[in-house]
Amino acid sequence: MSQIFDFTGDEEFYHGGSIYSNPKEAGSFLSLGDSPMDVFFPRKKARFDTPFVLSHEILDQKNQVSIDSLPDECLYEILRRLPGDQERSTCAGVSKRWLMLLSSIPKEELCREKMDLMDEDLEDGFLTRSLEGKKATDVRLAAIAVGNGGCGGLGKLTIRGSNPNPTRGVSNLGLKAIARCSPSLKALSLWNISSVGDEGLLEIANGCARLEKLDLCNIPSITDKALVAIAKGCPSLNSISIEGCQNVGNEGLQAIGQFCTNLKSLNVKDCPLVADQGVASLMSSATFVLNKLKFQGLSITDVSLAVIGHYGKALTDLVLANLPNVNERGFWVMGNAQGLHHLKSITITSCRGVTDLAVEAVGKGCPNLKQFVLKKCAFLSDNGLISFAKVSRSLESLQLEECHRITQIGFFGLLLNCSPKFKALAMSNCFGFKDMILGFPLPDLSTPLRSVTVRNCPGLGDMTLAMLAKLCPHLQYVNFAGLPAITDAGLLSLVESCDAGNGLVKVDLSGCINVTDDVIVSLAKTHGGTLEVLNLAGCGKVTDASLAAIANDCLVLSELDISKCGISDLGITSLARSKQLSLQILALSGCSSVSDKCLPFLYKLGQSLMGLNLQNCNSISSSTIDMLVDRLVKCDILA
């Protein structure tokens, strides 16, 4: 049966008519017998070792006609009476015509034996198939449709990218084959296919009632008509994603709200016809319990946010992105509508309505909010951040990206007023951050913060680290990647103040060009019993002395990145001679002083390594790398 999935195109099928160029060959090998299906089609001409004898019986065979001369209606009736899945798969390989006819036969029209009927009852959608690019054709879909019946049923189908040949890509015909032969289908994903329209999805709606997940991305021919049919015909749908479908609008959302009683997750992105009316119809429906909602790139206004705030009583995850027509009032009303009490996570990106007042209202209206992500919110300032921290008493994690009005005052104001459950703070690309001495003394208290990430905020320096060290002694995860202003002074205060009992677990100092061996030696000595991941990529002042300290004091380190550091063969030797070190990932990219001499030590380290990066190590020869590849069979080596 596996051959049915190996079709690469039309060239592997016989196209119409008899497969014999000479009627005599057909007469020699085609015998209908008692059943019209007792047929054998050889793919090669038969060879005869004995002289061909022209007899009256053979001459009469000139009048015999191939089964392929039957009209489609007759051949359809013959094929649907095949006894089992194996026979259907075999016959599908005869010609493209037979394949397409077999794929057009609905499951309920197949004449199957009792055992096959029992097998059909057991189909539960176990198979997963994925087609991309040139492999995405109607012929392949038909082959999948015919061949999956005896293998547990097709459960998931993904088609990504249109075939470059428009005459051979996926069309409605291919989806029809899937719909008729795969009632067990539970997940369908269609991406970037211009030749599929309402007709194909109507067939899916009629034939795949078990469908649970639908993902449509950049399918321009799909309209509300298809979405309405899917909503009505697939009552088990619990997840729907619609992106870049320009002809889907309010009617489709209304149908989803009315008929998809099991819907848990909905994503609508870049659909210009979706407006407030559709959102109101969707959210006001009482037929489903929606947990996850994402609206991105839509023309909705403040009205939609008010509706979400009132009717989103079951929402736990909400994403709002690129909504240019939503203003401060929309977020304020959403927060004050008091309908988002179960909301645990909210992400807001590129919405100009995110102001200090709006953020405070969201904090008040979402008492169980645990995770808050704000990206590209140009009007959020320190005052809004501090006000939000004061009212959001369940917050555990906050992420800020490209919020340029946030300064050091907002940073520490957040920490001083945060929830007792607050564990993680991440800031990236916030260029308004300036390192300065605060105009007020820090109180003698500690925050519950466990993880802090500040990436590519060039204004953060040693003074900020010193204050952070005083307020956050319980840190375990530290990421200061891309902060050129910090030096040993600030980092040493942080390393030495962190609770050695719990200890730092993951430290990322990549791009901190002023970090030296003093910090790394102190880090290894103080936190070597807990440190698992250390990234020093680009720290050019880190040398072999740091590796010696790591080898002596780090007991559980599993990942080490020392790319573009000032290390040599001596440092690699120290790592290899460590009795307790058992690295799984080691990155040495750009370490020009590491040479072929360290080959035996890389062998030793490689006994535990799963990944080794030797890219741009110019002093290591290709022959050495080849020997490493041959010897370290369990390690993925980049060179």
**Least confident among 108-112, 257-261, 342-346, 407-411:** 108-112
Q: Centre a 10 Å sphere on the Cβ of residue 434 and count the other Cβ atoms it contains.
A: 15
Q: Would you call 602 exposed, middle or buried from its count of C-beta atoms within 10 A (0-12, 13-18, 19+)?
A: buried
Q: Are 365 and 394 in contact (CB under 8 A)?
A: no
If one compares 149 and 137, the residue with the highest pLDDT of the two is 137
**Least confident among 144-153, 354-363, 503-512:** 144-153
Among 8-12, 108-112, 381-385, the range with the most confident prediction by mean pLDDT is 381-385
Instruction: Give 447-513 as a 3 state SS string.
Output: CCCCEEEEECCCCCCHHHHHHHHHHCCCCCEEECCCCCCCCHHHHHHHHHHCCCCCCCCEEECCCCC
If one compares 285 and 275, the residue with the highest pLDDT of the two is 275
If one compares 2 and 602, the residue with the highest pLDDT of the two is 602
Checking if the pLDDT of 150 tops 80, the result is no
pLDDT, one tens digit per residue, over 233-253 is 999 999 999 999 999 999 999
Rounded Cα gap, residues 7 and 3, in angstroms: 7
Checking if the pLDDT of 418 tops 50, the result is yes
The predicted pLDDT at position 129 comes to 87
Which two tokens mark 500? 């050695």
Predicted confidence band at 587 (pLDDT cuts at 50, 70, 90)? Answer: very high
The predicted pLDDT at position 445 comes to 78
Predicted confidence band at 300 (pLDDT cuts at 50, 70, 90)? Answer: very high
pLDDT, one tens digit per residue, over 425-479 is 999 999 988 887 666 566 777 899 999 999 999 889 999 999 999 899 999 999 9
Mean pLDDT of 469-498: 94
The predicted pLDDT at position 151 comes to 57
If one compares 134 and 249, the residue with the highest pLDDT of the two is 249
The predicted pLDDT at position 174 comes to 86
Q: Centre a 10 Å sphere on the Cβ of residue 447 and count the other Cβ atoms it contains.
A: 23
Question: Strand ranges (DSSP E) for 326-415?
Answer: 345-349, 371-375, 397-401
Rounded Cα gap, residues 130 and 159, in angstroms: 6
**Least confident among 149-158, 386-395, 502-511:** 149-158
Checking if the pLDDT of 152 tops 60, the result is no
Q: Would you call 91 exposed, middle or buried from its count of C-beta atoms within 10 A (0-12, 13-18, 19+)?
A: buried
Mean pLDDT of 145-171: 73
What residues contact residue 369 under an 8 Å CB cut-off, 6+ apart? 343, 344, 345, 346, 362, 363, 392, 394, 395
Checking if the pLDDT of 385 tops 80, the result is yes
Checking if the pLDDT of 204 tops 70, the result is yes
Q: Which of 440, 445, 455 is nearest to 415 (CA)?
A: 445
Mean pLDDT of 532-556: 97
